[in-house]
């Protein structure tokens, strides 16, 4: 599976899913809050439309009362003209408002009402002609009793479905009597359509935040991974990283039966550099040697600062002979290093090389290369010694 900054794509997917699950909790609350706000807003709109429509009816209240008293479509021409005109006006208002139902009603008993005006198409199945009976809900009862507008929540009516309604009383200002009421209904599906765009925006924002959180987490993991595997001073690998790579190299060699070589490099007289010149100059020396090592390696080779002034180089698929050639090049590069404003005449290294042999563990190979490095120091420093050398080896 593809590796993304030290993480497999599957691991990144797990991080994204985890972030999404965590963020889903506030997203659900936000969505619910938005739904509540939309319901409240539609309720206020429904109430205001009902109030406005009631005032419109009150301007010709006598005609409306006469129509309501007939309890049936009127026969008298003038009243029929009024009825048809109001039905047309209601249909226009309903279409403009996007409401599901717009109607007026009159209370005829403690438990029942009749519809008077209805915004539905008279040819449709749900049109309620003047005088059509229905039961009286508790919300409608409040309007008739109190003479005040009412907004319902989403109420599930067994015959009609789930609706949000705004009610307003039709008042006879001369007597203070509630003649009837106006109802404006919005269905749950209309509320859902109204909030669909908002929910989409919330979803997009939620996904973007989840992606950003994933990127931040991956970046932090990558940064931590880089800290673990990269030496802060030299930019080479760390001891931990080299130990991991060496174990992998041994496992690969065991399966492929192809040898590889390991080099241990140590700066000669480094303690004197620190004692005489100070640790800042010692750090300059460490960086310079790291640069010399880096410039003489292939892209597949691995180099690490193993501790203090000791470095380790892993050369996959290469013999000790190739490793010796590379080591000589490193010695030559280090010899050309000039540390400005210091009293160090030149830097030198002692290098030990060991080649992996079948059955050899990573620890055994490291010990062998380390022993070769100490042999190089013991016979004069500034030298390369391999695990098959019988004499002294030097570049000078």
Give per-residue pLDDT as tens, 266-276.
Answer: 999 888 888 88
Let me know if 260 is exposed, middle or buried by CB neighbors in 10 A (0-12, 13-18, 19+).
Answer: buried
Backbone φ, ψ for residue 99 (5° rounding): -75, 160
Looking at the predicted structure, is the pLDDT value of residue 393 above 70?
no
Q: What is the pLDDT of residue 392?
A: 46
Q: Which CATH architecture has domain 239-386?
A: 2-Layer Sandwich (3.30)
The CATH number, out of the four listed (3.30.450.20, 3.40.50.880, 3.40.1010.10, 3.40.1390.10), of the domain defined by the range 8-193: 3.30.450.20
Looking at the predicted structure, is the pLDDT value of residue 2 above 60?
no
Average pLDDT over residues 10-14: 68
- Mean pLDDT lowest among 14-23, 288-297, 317-326: 14-23
pLDDT bin (cut points 50, 70, 90) of residue 210 is: confident
Q: What is the pLDDT of residue 29?
A: 66
* 171-192: pLDDT as tens digits: 998 899 999 999 999 988 887 7
Selected residue with higher pLDDT from 135 and 196? 135
Average pLDDT over residues 111-139: 93
Q: In the chain, what are the domain boundaries? A: 8-193, 239-386
Q: What is the pLDDT of residue 16?
A: 64
Active site residues: 309
What is the percent of the chain where pLDDT is above 70? 83
Average pLDDT over residues 102-126: 94
Q: What is the pLDDT of residue 15?
A: 65
pLDDT bin (cut points 50, 70, 90) of residue 338 is: confident
Average pLDDT over residues 81-91: 95
Contacts of 158 (CB under 8 A, 6+ apart): none
Average pLDDT taken over every residue of the chain: 86
**Nearest alpha-carbon partner for 327 in 361, 353, 354:** 353
| Structural Rg of the chain based on CA atoms | 44
Q: What is the pLDDT of residue 80?
A: 94
**Cβ atoms within 10 A of the Cβ of 41, count?**
12
Q: What is the pLDDT of residue 3?
A: 46
**What is the rounded distance in angstroms from the CA atom of residue 351 to the CA atom of residue 364?**
17
Q: What is the pLDDT of residue 368?
A: 96
H-run or E-run covering 104: strand 101-107
Q: What is the pLDDT of residue 4?
A: 42
């Amino acid at each position: 599976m593809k590796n993304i900054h030290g993480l497999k794509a599957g691991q990144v997917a797990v991080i994204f899913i985890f972030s999404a699950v965590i963020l889903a909790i506030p997203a659900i609350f936000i969505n619910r809050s938005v739904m509540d706000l939309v319901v409240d807003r539609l309720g206020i709109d429904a109430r205001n439309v009902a109030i406005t429509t009631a005032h419109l009816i009150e301007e010709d209240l006598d005609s409306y009362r006469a129509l309501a008293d007939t309890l049936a479509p009127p026969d008298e021409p003038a009243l029929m003209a009024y009825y048809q005109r109001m039905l047309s006006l209601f249909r226009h208002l309903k279409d403009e408002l996007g409401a599901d139902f717009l109607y007026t009603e009159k209370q005829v008993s403690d438990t029942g009402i009749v519809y008077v005006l209805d915004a539905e198409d008279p040819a449709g199945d749900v049109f309620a002609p003047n005088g059509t009976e229905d039961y009286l809900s508790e919300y409608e009862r409040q309007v008739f009793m109190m003479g005040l507008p009412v907004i319902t929540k989403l109420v599930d009516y067994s015959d009609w479905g789930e609706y949000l309604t705004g009610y307003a009383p039709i008042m006879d200002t001369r007597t203070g009597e509630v003649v009837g009421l106006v109802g404006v209904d919005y269905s749950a599906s209309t509320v859902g359509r109204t909030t669909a765009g908002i929910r989409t925006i919330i979803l997009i924002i939620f996904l973007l935040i989840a992606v950003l959180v994933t990127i931040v987490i991956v970046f932090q993991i990558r940064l931590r991974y880089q800290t673990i595997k990269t030496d802060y001073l030299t930019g080479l690998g760390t001891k931990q990283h080299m130990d991991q790579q060496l174990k992998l190299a041994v496992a690969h060699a065991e399966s492929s039966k192809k040898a590889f070589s390991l080099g241990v490099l140590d700066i000669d007289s480094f303690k004197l550099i620190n004692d005489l010149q100070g640790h800042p100059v010692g750090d300059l020396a460490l960086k310079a040697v790291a640069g010399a090592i880096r410039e003489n390696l292939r892209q597949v080779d691995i180099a690490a600062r193993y501790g203090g002034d000791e470095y380790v180089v892993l050369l996959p698929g290469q013999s000790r002979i190739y490793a010796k050639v590379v080591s000589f090049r490193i010695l030559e590069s280090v010899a050309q290093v000039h540390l400005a404003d210091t009293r160090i005449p030149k830097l030198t290294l002692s290098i030990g090389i060991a080649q992996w042999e079948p059955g050899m563990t990573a620890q055994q190979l490291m010990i062998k290369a380390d022993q070769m490095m100490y042999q190089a120091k013991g016979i004069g420093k500034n030298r390369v010694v391999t695990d098959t050398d019988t004499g002294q080896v030097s570049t000078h």
